[in-house]
Amino acid sequence: MAIEKVGVVGCGLMGAGIAQVSAAAGFSTIVREVGPELLDKGIKGIEKNLARLVEKGTITDVAKGEVRGRLRGTTVIEDLKDCDLVIEAIIEQLPAKRDLFATLDRICPEKTIFASNTSSLTITELATATKRPQRFVGLHFFNPVPVMKLVEVVRTIATDATVYDEMVAFGTKLGKTAVRANDSTGFIVNRLLVPYLLDAIRALEEGVGSIEDIDNSMKLGCGYPMGPLTLLDFVGLDTTYYISQIMFDEFKERRFAAPPLLKRMVLAGWNGRKAGRGFYDYSDPQKPVAQKL
């Protein structure tokens, strides 16, 4: 089956990014948000990104218009009824995602493939909210979606092999390197990334080094684009805490357990860049200052 029309549910950071790369890759794309304000915010973000690409000379003004022309926003879930593929990128909560997929299952024809951008929930558990687990995969993108070159394509034991290959081909058409992963909690990236990020917090807790020195060590010593504590602020401390709890619950291994400092920072609302403070203070977003913790 050729994918022509793509639906994206959720126009937050991840959903907007997915909608942008889908429209840019030539797919007719419809993105749904719950209310007009959130939808407007998401679409404006995409338009800003496209305008920046024109300014840099990466795309022409004509191409920008074509991408925008392939993208439509809606607040009505039924508008996704004629999509060949629907990608879910809503809040990372199992009941909300299962409810959404049950609704989509009623609205969309049998041929429609469903995908979730979840970073930590079990794809199998989402797929069983529908009557089409054989047409259900994980498509896990990375923030910022237009920049990061990877998508994890996740299969469950029930995923049809042809559907899976089609989704790998779809990820490649988006300009990403599509890696194949099984439905193991955290897939490949978070299986490796989460213990690393948590270890950076443990190193800080144990006084191995300061916030800046831990970050500079991994940035300059290992060539990572961001140090781990900066990356934690970028991903969100609440998000990382949530993922670590799910991974710990699954594997019962200390490497996935949230360090006390992470829990306390989340309780205090210091959730990182989006909250204005995490390991760094973002009062001046151009010049983050390491916190005294």
Q: Which residues bind ligand 3HC (CB under 6 A)?
A: 49, 52, 56, 119, 142-144, 146-148, 190, 225-226, 231, 235
Q: How near is the Cβ of 97 to ligand 3HC at its closest, in Å?
A: 14
Catalytic (active site) residue 110: no
Give whichever of 1 and 220 is closer to ligand 3HC, judged by the CB atom.
220
Per residue in 101-114, is it b (16+ CB within 10 Å) or e — as a string? bebbbebbeeebbb
Scan for tokens 């629907």, then name that residue.
86
Give whichever of 150 and 261 is closer to ligand 3HC, judged by the CB atom.
150
Catalytic (active site) residue 88: no
Contacts of 178 (CB under 8 A, 6+ apart): 151, 152, 153, 167, 168, 169, 170, 171, 172
Q: How many residues does the chain have?
A: 293
Indicate which residue of 28, 152, 244, 271 is catalytic: 152
Q: How near is the Cβ of 213 to ligand 3HC at its closest, in Å?
A: 19
Give whichever of 20 and 156 is closer to ligand 3HC, judged by the CB atom.
20
Give whichever of 226 and 261 is closer to ligand 3HC, judged by the CB atom.
226
The angle subtended at Cα 109 by Cα 107 and Cα 113, nearest 5°, is 100
DSSP letter, residue 78: G
Residue nearest to ligand 3HC (CB): 119
Q: Encoding tokens for residue 71?
A: 């993208």
Indicate which residue of 119, 120, 244, 271 is catalytic: 119
Residue 208 C-beta-side C-alpha neighbours within 13 Å: 11
Catalytic (active site) residue 66: no
Q: How near is the Cβ of 200 to ligand 3HC at its closest, in Å?
A: 13
* Pick from 52, 72, 54, 74: nearest CA to 63: 54
Indicate which residue of 140, 166, 244, 271 is catalytic: 140
Q: How near is the Cβ of 119 to ligand 3HC at its closest, in Å?
A: 3
Catalytic (active site) residue 143: no
Active-site residues: which are they?
A: 119, 140, 152, 190
